[in-house]
Structure 1
Amino acid sequence: MDKSTKIIIFIFCLFKLTLHIIADIHSGFQGDELLHIATGNHLAFGYMEFPPVIAVLAFFQNLFHVQSIFVHHIFSHLAMLLIVIYLGKIVFELGGGSVATAITLSCLLISPGLGGSQQSFQPVVFSQFFWLISFYQLVRFVKYKDRRYLWYLTVFISVAFLTKYDALFFLVGSLGLLLFRNIRKALIAAKYWQFIVVSLLILLPNMVWQYVHDFPALHMFDRLYLTQLDDLTFTEVVSGLFLDINPITSIMLLPTFIFILGGQKMKHHYRPLATSILFSVLFLAYSKGKAYYFFPIVLTLLPFVGVFFERIIMPQRRWLLYPLGFILLLGTMLIPFGLPIYSYAHYIDTIHKYLPKNVKNGKEVLPMQEYITKQKWESTMQELRSVYDSLPANEQSNCLIWGKHYSQAGAIELMKSTYRLPNAFCYHGSFYSWAPFGQMPKTVIAICYNDTSEDFFYPFFEEIIPVKKLYSPYASNEGWVLQTIYICKKPKQNFDKLKDLFATRIFE
């Protein structure tokens, strides 16, 4: 890799990091982030919704004992920077130079979907990174047939699986390599079975955890298909992906993919890699994945875009570099549709008004929830504090807060020291795993969204008193427009019985 290419990678790293730090300034915590942060206080070999890597990262971030968005995005930003670097390294392995690197990284930069998915502290960005670095090792193995790259691939794809279970689509895609005789011979010579054994050993703790807990990941997927994925149409996924990765990049991807699958001027290792990617795409499409599920696959295709335009299109048409550069520059106009780089007021005035209006429950939904969650959680904590202060001293002493949704419980656990709130418990998602045991306090403060009525709590308490209602006019769905705070007294059971009652309701 020459000096000019390294400078290009550094510039894109600096620019991307700047954008994400600006987004931190304007952001609040997403609901899922609050769950992931909480897992860092409860390390385990598995969780109800996802594998354990995100919890390990959260553990180190939680050592700072702060509520800073930037601190809780440290590893997300690091993964984002490594994605930029490894895209450049893959371009180099595919035979591309500085122009190919610049085109590839420009496609990454202008994608609002990739930008947004790489901002939050969620498994998505780490899945993208481990998928990409695994693909980098796969490229080197296919190119050089050196078994040490299989060892690297084994470790990274195993960690990818422990980050997000969508690594399964990478593994299925890799089966496409078996269609090529030279790859099969290289795998046999490398004693491929050794790598399978090592990978299974790495995954064994999580597999045992899943078995002991009756495979909650499968129950979660069943619920996901029932409530979301089964209703998705192929047209919705394709149109969403077309916009998420930027129409400019989408148009550039089509001829690139056709070329690497069947072009006559391609290098010998392009077609096996393209076949692997195609297998992943087909399996994911068959599984009815959402548009953002395809993001890791898109990342593996971007280096081919850069190489294709540098090596095939431009040698005879060098002048195309200038209009292409201008078009990619125009593509940056979509960055604010994925990252909250503007102030809230500026976003409403200049971006939101161009989006189709989505009205639910009589109120308009804001697509980029990060703009409103900071104020939402601050006001929620303040109202919970006022309810807690209204209790007699003898009830405050052992009071707990029941967060119906894991985002509510996660927010309380993260911010309770600032607002001097009691501990929270929850039976939704992974919070179920560390719900308390023993006797319940005589008074519990409960908070839920308007998709849950007060009838939900009647089987568990004799007295249910609604005391506060909090409005979120731009909530992400109509069931979250309203939060209600209740004072619940005289529990009808202890925590042990309550946990038994919710054993089959974890993903409600």
Structure 2
Amino acid sequence: MKNTQNTTLIITLFCVINLILHLIADYNSGFHGDELLHITTGNYPAFGYMEFPPVIGWLAWIQNQFGSTSVFIHHIFAHIATLLILILIGLTIVELAGKSKAVFIALLCIMVSPGFDRSHQLFQPVVFSELFWVLSFYLLVRFVKESNNKNLFYLTVAFAFGFLTKYDIVFFIAGICSLFFFKNTQKILLSKQSWKFALIFLVIVAPNLWWQYIHSFPMFQMFSRLYETQLDKLSVSGVLGQLIIDLNPVTLLIWLPGCFFMFNNKSKATYRPLAVYITLSILFLALAKGKHYYFFSEIIFLIIFGSIWFEQTVLAWRRWLLYPVSTLFILTGLFLLPWGLMILPLNSFIRVYKLKKEENRYGIPDEYYTKSKWVKTMSAIKAVYDSLPAKEQKDCLIWGKHYSQAGAVNLFGSMYGLPKAFSYHGSFYLWAPGGKIPETVIGFTNGEATIDFFESYFNSVVAVKKVYNPYASFNKDVFQTIYICKSPKQSFDELKVLFEKRVFE
């Protein structure tokens, strides 16, 4: 009874601290570029999008009902998901016979990791995917302990909604083959009833699969582009090194032993199937050349086992070690925290870490500077728009080369009296207008494209303003250039055909 009370208290305490830190970060930060796309999907709820499944759009639709540009409003569901992740981690540890100290260490590992802090802060599919991975693992533990139709049904539904959140859940699902080799799960998986669960999964995900089919499976085009530009360039050592840094190197003291403990624990009937399952999932993800943050959910599972190992082995030997280890985690976490959560104002962050400009920029996380970046950009576009004759203003639209640019105009533009933006990048391709292009279009892009891009589609293109961003993470983002484009060479419908195979460029 006392352990249950302590565990509940620890989980509650971590949830409160976590929420406070994220709310402070909301106050100090702007939006990550990808968030501007995700927020826009809420204006077009559907069963799928070019880059990801539909759940993010459904959540965005709810948040968009507030009609707000507030970071807090657009992070509501991310914050809820984060708290649920912490709760599920605690519940999973208890299911695996861990006690309050194991829960404390596991949640501390999550809190002191800048990688988890940042991925849990942003309105992206990542945090919701992580939620369904952790929920699925919790239900998997219960299924392994008590293999019955009820637990298998819950696990099936979790898998299905995980699929509708982010396609990487397939690496978790792929590991299910390992359960056919263990007696306590083999019987029910080979039973005549098992086809019903496969059917349930297919029924839930069918609307998204149908959407992908009628849109010629854009997810494959996206994955192909990812491998072409990013994933094929990754190395095992590079991914592992970035993973260790992002998760706070000292947490390696917990999750690395967890790799071995899950195989050697005395409770083999429960632990061994889970250990093989996790190993297979990691292997499949590694063979697919996943980015380092794709492994975050798998690391949570290792942290769960590592925290139980720490409680049952290390603390059983020397209980007092809990205090220096916790202190080490907290001190390193406090040092790294501002790199994951924007708990410091921009200027304070630069001053505290003594950052210097390199190649004309500081190179810091986007959220620290995007609030001021978009104010400057919208003001510059407004000045260009106001310079146009009234006749041209009437029909003028804005072309953002990158989806974040079009998303920013559509989120903030009404405050500046700007017209709507369109783009052919990512899911914005689906929402591009049809018919005749206005005689005058304001185009803008960062360093990933030059004037040549717009000159391909207009007879007259003039660069009229540059917006300098000294904090940019990448060189291509240091300047945004605004163009006045006139005399289009084609219609919107013809543009859509031209960009059909270039959506992710």
TM-score by length of 1: 0.96
Match of residue 336 from structure 1:
338
In 2, distance between residues paired with 1:439 and 1:429?
22
**CA positional deviation for 1:365:** 4.4
Q: Secondary structure at the match of 1:311?
A: helix
4+ long deviations beyond 4 Å: none
In 1, distance between residues paired with 2:44 and 2:97?
45
Corresponding residue to 1:468 among 465, 470, 494: 465
Q: Secondary structure at the match of 1:164?
A: coil
Q: Return 5+ residue gaps in structure 1 as ranges.
A: none
Match of residue 370 from structure 2:
373
Match of residue 416 from structure 2:
419
Corresponding residue to 1:129 among 124, 128, 131: 131
**CA positional deviation for 1:118:** 0.5
In 2, distance between residues paired with 1:323 and 1:372?
36
In 1, distance between residues paired with 2:309 and 2:185?
24
Q: Does 1:152 align with 2:147?
A: no
Counterparts of residues 208-247 of structure 1 (less than 5 Å): 208-247=210-249
Match of residue 278 from structure 2:
277
Match of residue 298 from structure 2:
297
Give CA deviations for 1:33-90 in whole Å, capped at 9, x if unaligned: 0000000001111111111100000000000001000000000000000011111110
In 2, distance between residues paired with 1:18 and 1:319?
29
In 1, distance between residues paired with 2:77 and 2:245?
27
In 2, distance between residues paired with 1:446 and 1:318?
63
Aligned residues: 502
**CA positional deviation for 1:339:** 1.1
Match of residue 178 from structure 2:
176
The farther-off stretch of 386-395 and 328-337 is 328-337
Q: What is the one-letter code of the residue matched to 2:294?
A: Y
Q: Return 5+ residue gaps in structure 2 as ranges.
A: none
1:365/1:477 contact within 8 Å kept: no
Give CA deviations for 1:358-411 in whole Å, capped at 9, x if unaligned: 94xx32342311111111011111111111111111111111001111000000
Q: Secondary structure at the match of 2:71?
A: coil
2:56/2:124 contact within 8 Å kept: yes
**CA positional deviation for 1:186:** 2.9
The farther-off stretch of 310-319 and 409-418 is 310-319
1:471/1:481 contact within 8 Å kept: yes
Q: Does 1:21 align with 2:23?
A: yes
2:261/2:306 contact within 8 Å kept: no
**CA positional deviation for 1:327:** 2.2
- Identity of paired residues, percent? 51
1:260/1:266 contact within 8 Å kept: no
Q: What is the one-letter code of the residue matched to 1:126?
A: F
2:361/2:478 contact within 8 Å kept: no
Match of residue 43 from structure 2:
41
Give CA deviations for 1:456-499 in whole Å, capped at 9, x if unaligned: 11221111111111111222222222111111111111111111
Match of residue 199 from structure 1:
201
Corresponding residue to 1:444 among 433, 441, 444: 441
Corresponding residue to 2:100 among 98, 101, 106: 98
Give CA deviations for 1:129-177 in whole Å, capped at 9, x if unaligned: 0110011110100011122111111111111111111001111122222
**CA positional deviation for 1:181:** 2.6
Give CA deviations for 1:250-291 in whole Å, capped at 9, x if unaligned: 12212221121134x235201111111111111111111111
Q: Secondary structure at the match of 2:34?
A: helix
Match of residue 391 from structure 2:
394
Q: Secondary structure at the match of 1:445?
A: strand
In 1, distance between residues paired with 2:169 and 2:80?
20
In 1, distance between residues paired with 2:85 and 2:381?
40
Counterparts of residues 83-94 of structure 1 (less than 5 Å): 83-94=85-96
Shift in alpha-carbon separation, 1:117–1:358, aligned structure 2, 3 A: farther
Q: Secondary structure at the match of 1:483?
A: strand
1:147/1:190 contact within 8 Å kept: no
**CA positional deviation for 1:238:** 0.5
Give CA deviations for 1:265-323 in whole Å, capped at 9, x if unaligned: 23520111111111111111111111100001112222212211112222232222222
**CA positional deviation for 1:95:** 0.7
In 2, distance between residues paired with 1:85 and 1:352?
37
Q: Secondary structure at the match of 2:365?
A: coil
Q: Does 1:431 align with 2:428?
A: yes
Corresponding residue to 2:406 among 387, 404, 409: 409
1:91/1:101 contact within 8 Å kept: yes
Q: Does 1:347 align with 2:359?
A: no
TM-score by length of 2: 0.97
Counterparts of residues 69-88 of structure 1 (less than 5 Å): 69-88=71-90
In 1, distance between residues paired with 2:407 and 2:75?
16
Q: What is the one-letter code of the residue matched to 1:385?
A: K
Q: Secondary structure at the match of 2:213?
A: helix
Counterparts of residues 320-331 of structure 1 (less than 5 Å): 320-331=321-332
In 2, distance between residues paired with 1:494 and 1:282?
48
**CA positional deviation for 1:189:** 4.1
Q: Secondary structure at the match of 1:488?
A: strand
1:336/1:351 contact within 8 Å kept: no
In 1, distance between residues paired with 2:92 and 2:337?
24
Q: What is the one-letter code of the residue matched to 1:299?
A: I
Shift in alpha-carbon separation, 1:270–1:190, aligned structure 2, 3 A: farther
In 1, distance between residues paired with 2:495 and 2:89?
49
2:117/2:337 contact within 8 Å kept: yes
2:400/2:421 contact within 8 Å kept: yes
Match of residue 289 from structure 2:
288
Q: Secondary structure at the match of 2:461?
A: strand
In 2, distance between residues paired with 1:21 and 1:296?
23
